[in-house]
Amino acid sequence: MGDVISSHLDEGKRQMIAGRTREVTEEFSRLYEQQYAVALFNKVRFEIEGNGGPQSQLLHRKDPLQDKNIFSGNLFQCLENRKWRNRYFFIPDSYNIYYYENKMAHDRGLHPKGIIKCAGYRALTSVEEYMELISNSLPGVKAKASSSPFLKCATQHCIILWHPYACHHYFCVMTEKEQAKWQAVFQDCIRHTNNELSEEDKVQTPAFTDAVRLYRQARGQYGTWDMMCGEPPQILANLVMESLHPELRDQIGPRLKGKLQQRQRSWMLISDAVYSLVLGQTRAQYEATVQICESRRPPLEAALRTDMDQIITSREHVAGKIRSVVQPKVEQVLKVSVRPYISSILEALMAPTSGGFSEVRDVFSLELVEMNKNILNEGNKDRLGEHMEKISMLAFHPVKMQSCYQEVEKMQLEGLQERFDVSSPSVFIQRAQILMRGQMDNAVYTFEQLLHQNLESAGEEHMCKAIQRCQDRVVKKFDYDSSTVRKKFFREALLQILIPYLLKQLSPSCAGDLPRFQELIFEDFSRFILVENVFEEVVLQSVMKDITMAVKEAAVMRRHNLFRDSMVLKGSDLNLHQLAEEPAVDWAGQYGGEEAGGGTAKRRRQVVSMVLLDEQPGLLHESCLDIPGVERIPEEGEGEREGEEHSPSPSVDTPTSPRSAIEIRSADTPGAPRSVMEILNAAAPTSPRGVIEIPNADAPPSPGGLSQIRDLINPKVEVTVPASQVDSTPLANGVLPAAASPSEAGSTCHPDDSGFQSLTNEATDEEEAQPITEALKQAGCTVADPERVVVTLEQGDAETGEKRSGKVTELEPDIVFTI
């Protein structure tokens, strides 16, 4: 499809795109440099005056995802040639999606096939919804009801990542449960990457957001903006595409040729190419602008600290003059168009948000209750570390947090969106979800520190009581903190909705009066005092009184479990806040027992468990049409709650199950190495007579999984036991000693194949390949007759512990296996 891009994006179009991007970035850079000095003034003033809010009752974790990754597993991905391929996906703590050809490529440290940065995307699970968005991408082109979409999913469970400008990504899974899990993971990636602006940076972040807001307001766009998501270069690229994309669509759309589906695909490729060009240019321009501002920061900060009192006095003087002029106009708009709607807006925000925080509280409590029950039922404390490792990552578990997020997604602002120019509630939904995740992690981290302190001082004798006491203590602190966080969120959301509306109503009548106030500002202070910012602050202070009153009235009503500000405790638990300086607790190392070592600890570094079984041979295939369905692996800890619902299929024995383990024991040599027959016996099913049978290519498949074994074993190879060991070594209690290695027996098989030829070596020297029996005879070994080999089966009863033996053929055996 490169010819489509090159034909419609010729050199003239590329120069036009670069010129338009340069115009936007230059105007943004001018605004950013102005707002950078203002943001630096606000930061230094805050440090000097120290106007802090209520103190948090919960502890904050510094780096919750250290040495953790979110998720990994296999997905069927649609390639550019419309073919589907099974690929391995890995999501680290950055929440960017890396995909590889297979898991081996990831484990070997190879470069990924691609990286998906999810900022600005939407995760769809319906082809119909996706096609509706695609149909709206080209105006004037409507698809007929009978026309087939260009996307044909390999399964009915699809996940589509849609972006208004960038390329789209298509995935499929085999089951509905896998689809739900992957959708939750993708939505968490989108939620996190949309919130890339650092709240810790009190200079660059406010300078950037104010510069973007002022740029859009200068063009008459005052409302909320859905594409204010991602890193600053991505947001700038979205700012350029907001006006450039419709213009290019009107120019290029009518020139596209082919059927409807072909035109849609062509426009998607062109849009992605344009977005990539714009993003590369905005990234370079933004980095240059930030570097210039940072180089000017030391002298600006020195001037601020020297003249802070004079700057504040001058700013208050200008604000008083502006307030005397615009206050009557502001009061009129507030009385008629704002105050009657504050309560309804607040109610629309409060109900779903409070429901989401309440669900966070319930999920946290239920997880701890379940952990307490498991520890009590197990009767030992060795698995405390294992349970706490899971609890510590509860806030970052997309599947377990999904019920909390879904409560907030019920938020509806219908009737208010058009009046106050709110594009959609998604901005407030994602902000509330980020706050919920933060509160959950604070509660979990506080519980960890309290429990660890309790166990160190009081010991582990009364662990269950200690867990219950710590849980009750943390839940109370969570109620206070969640109330404070929600009230702050409500105030910010109301300001985000009402301030743009007020500025839009007041700007036509007040914009002409603002320039004359610039004369009241000293030239030395003009970098830190901007008339536009002072005017917006006056409007904000005017409406803030009504917003604060509305939130206080809601807190007094206690309808949504809000507390009054006077009830919030300040510094009430000094001993707890001293724990904030303590390092994170290594639960696996201190309380994990045997589970703390080896592969289990490594597997626990992943927040969400795998979806597909690693042992499935179908993962090696490239086409999802050739891969059978795979049962879902339950989440860690789900087996106790869901019973047998997600248990593995009984036809395939799992290696770790005590019921299905096949063990060949020796009375004298319990640690003897496993022979060739032992390896095959552990993999192959047994016949009802108790005689080991090697699968044959001509034999019909059995319910025990012979079809899978046949894919692993070459049916041409005859496997027997070297009789030399039987003749030279006495049998101990009828148990066969370990067989000689293939090299000692003179076998021509590959030494890594454990005595049988693998699929990769099947075609090598096929004409010269000899059975193992021939090689043994050449080595001077005698071969035992397979008919005189008898196997005794001993099967243990899981409930009574008794052993039952199978029948033994009435022949005088040469060799006896005890299984």
CATH number at residue 148: 2.30.29.30
Read off the tokens for 529.
């005092």
Of 170, 194, 218, which residue sits at a domain end? 194
Distance of CA 390 to the CA centre of its chain: 16
- pLDDT of 757: 33
Cα-atom radius of gyration of the chain, to the nearest Å? Answer: 34
pLDDT on residue 234: 96
Give the total number of structural domains in the chain: 3
Residues 703 and 593 in one domain: no
Top pLDDT among 816 and 528 is at: 528
Helix (H, G, I), strand (E, B) or coil at 501: helix
Same domain, yes or no, for 498 and 351?
Answer: yes
List, for residues 746-798, the tens digit of each pLDDT value: 433 333 433 333 333 333 333 444 454 555 555 555 555 555 555 444 444 44
DSSP state for residue 783 in the 8-state scheme: B
Half-sphere exposure of 487 (CA within 13 A, CB side): 24
Question: Do the Cβ atoms of 784 and 776 come closer than 8 Å?
Answer: no
| Residues 407 and 485 placed together within one structural domain of the fold | yes
Both 488 and 364 in one domain: the answer is yes
One domain for residues 707 and 792: yes
Residues 222-243, mean pLDDT to the nearest whole number: 94
Q: Is residue 618 part of a domain?
A: no
One domain for residues 334 and 465: yes
CB 585 within 8 A of CB 158: no
Structure tokens, 798: 């899981």
Indicate if 435 and 581 belong to the same structural domain: yes
Task: Check pLDDT > 50 for residue 178.
Answer: yes
Q: Give the pLDDT band (50/70/90) at residue 558.
A: confident
- Residue the block writes with tokens 């003249």: 307
Residue 597 lies in a domain: yes
Q: Residue 535 and residue 330: Cα distance in Å, rounded?
A: 11
Q: Is residue 644 part of a domain?
A: no
Cα(70)–Cα(401) distance, integer angstroms: 13
Measuring CA to CA, which residue among 285, 305, 211, 389 is closest to residue 25? 285
Across the chain, mean pLDDT equals 76
pLDDT at residue 631 is higher than 90: no
Residues 697 and 600 both lie in one domain: no
Distance between CA atoms of 87 and 101, rounded to whole angstroms?
5
Decide if 41 is inside a domain.
Answer: no
Please count the CA atoms within 13 angstroms of the CA of 379 that sit on its side-chain side: 0
Residue 620, φ and ψ in degrees, nearest 5: -80, -15
The pLDDT value recorded for residue 295 is 96
Separation between Cα atoms, residue 483 and residue 476, nearest integer Å:
11
Backbone torsions φ then ψ of 169, nearest 5 degrees: -130, 135
Q: Do 621 and 627 meet the contact criterion of CB atoms below 8 Å apart?
A: yes
The sign of the CA dihedral 233, 239, 242, 243 is negative
Residue 586 lies in a domain: yes
Buried b / exposed e along 188-219 (16+ C-beta atoms within 10 A): bbbbbbbbbbeeeebbbebbbbbbbbbbbbee
684 and 566 share a domain?
Answer: no
Q: Is residue 735 part of a domain?
A: yes
Mean pLDDT of 450-472: 84
- The runs of H, that is alpha helices, within 460-520 are 463-510
User: 422 and 560 share a domain?
Assistant: yes
Distances (CA, A) of 504 to 333, 342, 511, 547, 725: 11, 18, 11, 19, 94
Q: Is residue 168 part of a domain?
A: yes
pLDDT confidence bin for 79, thresholds 50/70/90: confident
Whether 601 and 747 map to the same domain: the answer is no
**Cα–Cα nearest to 174, from 270, 267, 247, 76:** 76
Picking from 581, 606, 631, the residue at the C-terminal end of a domain is 606
The model's pTM = 0.73
Residue 136 lies in a domain: yes
In this structure, the answer to whether residues 81 and 175 fall within a common structural domain is yes
Burial label for 264, CB within 10 Å (0-12, 13-18, 19+), is buried
pLDDT at residue 818 tops 60:
no
Q: Summarize pLDDT for 20-42 with one digit per residue, the tens.
A: 999 999 999 999 999 999 999 99
pLDDT at res. 738: 41
Distance CA 745, CA 780 (A): 9
H or E, element range at 171? strand 169-173
Q: Which of 606, 625, 643 is the last residue of a domain?
A: 606
- pLDDT tens per residue, range 373-388: 888 887 666 778 888 8
Name the nearest CA neighbour of 738 among 664, 687, 800, 684: 664
Q: Structural domain of residue 777, as residue ranges?
A: 676-818
Q: In this predicted structure, which of 78-82, 142-146, 239-243, 600-604 has the lowest mean pLDDT?
A: 600-604
Can you tell me the distance from the alpha carbon of 635 to that of 81, in angstroms, rounded to the nearest whole number?
35
